[in-house]
Amino acid sequence: MRRTYEPGKFKVQVKKSKAGLGLFAAEDMPKNICIIEYVGRDISGPEEYTSRSKYLFEISSKKTIDGQARSNTARYINHSCRPNAEPTIYKGRVYIFTSKKIKAGEEICYDYGKAYWKEHIEPMGCRCPKCIEKRERQTVTA
């Protein structure tokens, strides 16, 4: 299937979620559609290594963007170990696609990747549904 890199055809909403604010589908979305573009300031170069922003997105070995600005609605997408969306890099830009059908009202999440998870999410306790279930099972059997 050919993908079209045209975000904005499906409505999204920023709302409260388990992990602070999150991005939610405001209408049903089919699998494999472009939800939104992850936009940011190009910080390629020395700043890439000194920036303390949590919203860095490495597009390639030569290009990193900082999506911290509130105008980057995609920054509200939380991490999940059982995601329903995935980032795709196309012509030096980042687009978030659905990786399965998403129903209206569902939170949109993608997997931030192992390195980010280990450094920023695991220490706080991952709040994705998969990890919450896992912790609940452990409590029951303990």
* Binding stretches for Zn ion (CB under 5 A): 81, 126, 128, 131
C-beta of 36 vs 126, nearer to Zn ion: 126
- Provide, rounded to whole angstroms, the least separation between the CB of residue 121 and Zn ion: 7
Q: What are the tokens at 66?
A: 């900082």
Closer residue to Zn ion in complex, CB, 76/112: 112
CB 108 within 8 A of CB 85: yes
Q: Which is nearer to Zn ion, 85 or 131 (CB)?
A: 131
Considering beta carbons, is residue 29 or 131 the nearer one to Zn ion? 131
Minimal distance, residue 77 CB to Zn ion, in Å: 14
Q: From the CB of 128, what's the least distance to Zn ion, in Å? A: 3
Nearest distance, CB of residue 96 and Zn ion, angstroms: 18
**Distance from C-alpha of 70 to C-alpha of 68, rounded to nearest angstrom:** 6
